[in-house]
Amino acid sequence: MADSLEALVARLLALATVDESGARRLPPERVLCDELGMSRGALREQFSVLERLGFLHRTQGRGTYLDTPSYDFVRSFFAISRSLGYITDQHVADSRVLVEEAVAESAARRATPDQIADLREALERMAAGEEAGDDSLIHQADVDFHRRLLDIVDNPVLQFLREGLSRALDDDMRARRDFVERGHSSLDFDRSHENIVEAIEARDPEAARLGMRRHFGITATDATAPGFAGHP
């Protein structure tokens, strides 16, 4: 019986050599087939799966490498799940609130002065966009602000989820901002970002968490807002 993909990767790791760049290079296919007791066709079939998942790449003339996964597969997984209705906009909105609260709390414990400065730079661009009436600039600064918060936490699992849900999260952010702008509360909405940064700079995790809750709570006044399904 063929090994599971997970077991195969464990065996491949044991056979890989690490080159000068730190990459894990696999032996030639002939050697792998002998060591693993697999036919070349079976090995190539498993390699194709690993390649689609982003865990393996093959370069002509250089060899085959086990790789840090790309986000392409998980983006496709979430996009298709969303198209099929398995993941809804409400699931995305609720998950975002839960994750961002925890991220803000953790950032207050971890953020360096440079990282706090990066958050403030995003706020400055947000304010410049508001002044210029440039929705694209505002949105990009907003996206950067939340991405930089996640970078402070530096957790690959959260990054994986963020990248996988990137399109859905982008839609959720646009829907929230469109809603507060219709309610003429965009300045309060952007001020809530500043409150989060102030709490992080003060090394106050609880205030950062509550600041993020208030940030989402500003948009909770209309149960019919698109992309909210009755929740902030």
CA distance to 95, 110, 118, 165, per residue, from 209 (Å): 15, 14, 19, 22
Confidence class for position 169, pLDDT limits 50, 70, 90: confident
pLDDT at 223: 37
165 with 120, same domain?
Answer: yes
pLDDT score for 71:
82
Does residue 121 lie within any of the structural domains?
yes
Q: Give how many domains the chain has, as a whole number.
A: 2
Provide the pLDDT for residue 226.
Answer: 38
Check whether residue 99 and residue 208 sit in a common domain: yes
Structure confidence at residue 176 (pLDDT):
73
DSSP letter assigned to residue 4:
P
Cα 48 to the center of its chain, rounded Å: 25
What pLDDT does 23 receive?
87
Residues sharing a CB contact under 8 Å with residue 62, sequence separation 6 or more, in sequence order: none
Same domain, residue pair 94 and 62 = no
Mean pLDDT of 38-47: 94
- My answer on whether 108 and 158 are in the same domain is yes
**What's 35's domain CATH number?**
1.10.10.10
User: Does position 40 have pLDDT exceeding 50, yes or no?
Assistant: yes
Domain contains 225: no
Token digits of residue 163: 């990248």
In terms of residue numbers, what domain contains 37? Answer: 5-66
Q: Is residue 198 part of a domain?
A: yes
State how far the Cα of 89 lies from the Cα of 130, in Å rounded to an integer.
27
Other beta carbons less than 10 A from residue 103's beta carbon: 22
DSSP string, 10-45: HHHHHH-EE-TTS-EEEPPHHHHHHHHT--HHHHHH
- Answer whether residue 162 is part of any domain: yes
101/198 same-domain check: yes
Domain end marker among 66, 98, 113: 66
